[in-house]
Amino acid sequence: MLHERLLLILGLLFVVFLLVMLGQKLRISYPIFLVLGGLVLSFMPGLPRIAIEPELIFLIFLPPLLYEAAWYTSWRDFWRWRRAIGLLAFGLVFFTSVIVAYVSRAMIPGFTLGLGFLLGGIISPPDAVAATSVLKGIKVPKRVLAILGGESLLNDASSLIVFRFALATVLSGAFVWQQAVTSFLLASSMGLVVGVGVAYGFYLIHKYLPTTPSINTGLTLIAPYVMYLVAEEFHFSGVLAVVSGGLLMSFLSHAVFDANTRLQTNSVWASLSFVLNGLVFILIGLQLPIAVEGLGNYSLQQAITYGLIISAMVILIRLLWIFPAAFLPRMFSRTVRSNEPSPGWQGPLVLGWAGMRGWCRWPPRCPFRCWPTGSRFRSAT
């Protein structure tokens, strides 16, 4: 069994490399090509059914990918574009969740408003990896990349508010907003504290112990897992712990890493990120048979129809939100006009179209049952 699983993983990696090379040859962005390749592979007869527990997915993939995104996020740019990032990471997530909730209740038989908000909380935040992965290697303005990167680091926190309110409604039949808000504030704030504390501990190790470039590189690989696991052990936000810790380590790295360490670390992380991203995107496509089996009383045609309608609606909502959010502050604030260059129409259009959704991040107690039951998974945020 172990040998078969290892062979399957190696086979998937080989397929990932082939698809990436083919995507480069055809000039197709490799995440999109990998998802399509996974969908095709899922229909191949004789291929073993790949059903990975969500807890394992989040434990292996999420910490390093978030850490890398935070590491390469400029704190100066993050702070400079904080207004735009906040409007997307918080305002747009709440707005999208409300629209999705009411439309899904009116459209899908048996859907309550609570289930609608649950669905809205799941799909409203763009994926933390997909947009930046697709845009790597494409010439886009630095401002666009900074806003997308900052949004992807924070929008899980805002979607968690919606999800917890909706889950409380589904389970109890009534909103318990005081408990949900208190739980969110505690998990978020303590997640930030844990991330900063663990990152500062690693900073002291890098600075005062006789490390080598290889040891420093190994410590950077360990750090995101330590941040995530410590925060999750106390039921705090592992996502925010990794994000805050990654931002702090990125800010302090110039004081502890020499040129050799930076070169080695960048090379190792580039390879690791490529492999993890490739596996993530091909696994998304391979989950199609499992998603079909979990439809319950809904037919495949109904699911496709609802999915296409809601997907189109989410894309349209983001585009409708982006342009007023980009231009209204300039109309009412002279400070904004003097300090920020005009975004034009190209930048908001790219930001609006880049709202990609990746794998589902929520636990199997969610009523949509995308994953097999019986998992010990706990919400990643």
CA atoms within 13 A on the CB side of 229: 10
Cα–Cα distance between 273 and 266 in angstroms, integer? 10
Report pLDDT for 226.
Answer: 96
The helix (run of H) or strand (run of E) holding residue 321 is: helix 300-332
Q: Which range of residues forms the domain containing residue 100? A: 58-353
Mean pLDDT value across residues 283-310: 81
Ramachandran region, residue 313 (left: φ > 0; alpha: ψ -120 to 50; beta: rest) = alpha
Cα–Cα distance between 229 and 215 in angstroms, integer? 21
Q: 166 lies in a domain?
A: yes
Mean pLDDT value across residues 114-128: 78
Three-class DSSP category at 192: helix
Among the listed residues 6, 9, 283, 15, the one whose alpha carbon sits nearest the alpha carbon of residue 129: 283
Q: pLDDT (tens digit, 9 = 90+) per residue, 326-366?
A: 777 777 777 766 667 677 777 778 777 776 554 444 333 33
Report pLDDT for 41.
Answer: 82
Report CA dihedral (190, 223, 271, 55) to the nearest 10 degrees: -60
* 381/89: higher pLDDT: 89
Check if the beta carbon of residue 123 is closer than 8 Å to that of residue 93.
no
Q: Is the pLDDT of residue 46 over 60?
A: yes
| Most confident listed range (39-48, 64-73, 246-255) | 246-255
Number of H helices, E strands in the chain: 17, 0
Q: 78 lies in a domain?
A: yes
Check if the beta carbon of residue 360 is closer than 8 Å to that of residue 330.
no
* 80/193: higher pLDDT: 193
Helix 213-233 × helix 238-252 angle, to 10°: 150
Q: 32 lies in a domain?
A: no
Cα–Cα distance between 218 and 214 in angstroms, integer? 6
Report pLDDT for 325.
Answer: 81
Q: 39 lies in a domain?
A: no
Q: 30 lies in a domain?
A: no
Cα–Cα distance between 115 and 112 in angstroms, integer? 5
At 302, list the tokens. 């109904």
Q: Is the pLDDT of residue 220 over 90?
A: yes
* 286/157: higher pLDDT: 286
At 74, list the tokens. 């400029």
Q: How confident is the model at residue 199 (pLDDT cuts 50, 70, 90)?
A: very high
Cα–Cα distance between 262 and 271 in angstroms, integer? 14
Q: 211 lies in a domain?
A: yes
Q: How confident is the model at residue 161 (pLDDT cuts 50, 70, 90)?
A: low
Quote the radius of gyration of the chain (alpha carbons, Å): 21
Q: 218 lies in a domain?
A: yes
Check if the beta carbon of residue 253 is closer than 8 Å to that of residue 70.
no
Residues in the chain: 381
Residue 191's domain is classified under what CATH number? 1.20.1530.20
For the chain, what is the domain count? 1
Report pLDDT for 136.
Answer: 59
Q: Is the pLDDT of residue 37 over 70?
A: yes
* 304/364: higher pLDDT: 304
Q: How confident is the model at residue 193 (pLDDT cuts 50, 70, 90)?
A: very high
* 133/270: higher pLDDT: 270
Instruction: Determine what percent of the chain is predicted with pLDDT higher than 90.
Output: 17
Report pLDDT for 211.
Answer: 92
Q: 8 lies in a domain?
A: no
Report pLDDT for 113.
Answer: 80
Note the pTM of the prediction, 2 decimals.
Answer: 0.77
Q: Estimate the share of the chain in helix, then strand, then coil, as percent rounded to the nearest 5.
A: 75, 0, 25
Check if the beta carbon of residue 165 is closer than 8 Å to that of residue 117.
yes
Among the listed residues 238, 157, 154, the one whose alpha carbon sits nearest the alpha carbon of residue 191: 238
Three-class DSSP category at 373: coil
Report CA dihedral (10, 12, 13, 19) to the nearest 10 degrees: 150
Mean pLDDT value across residues 38-63: 77
Q: How confident is the model at residue 137 (pLDDT cuts 50, 70, 90)?
A: low
At 262, list the tokens. 């930076």
Report pLDDT for 367.
Answer: 36
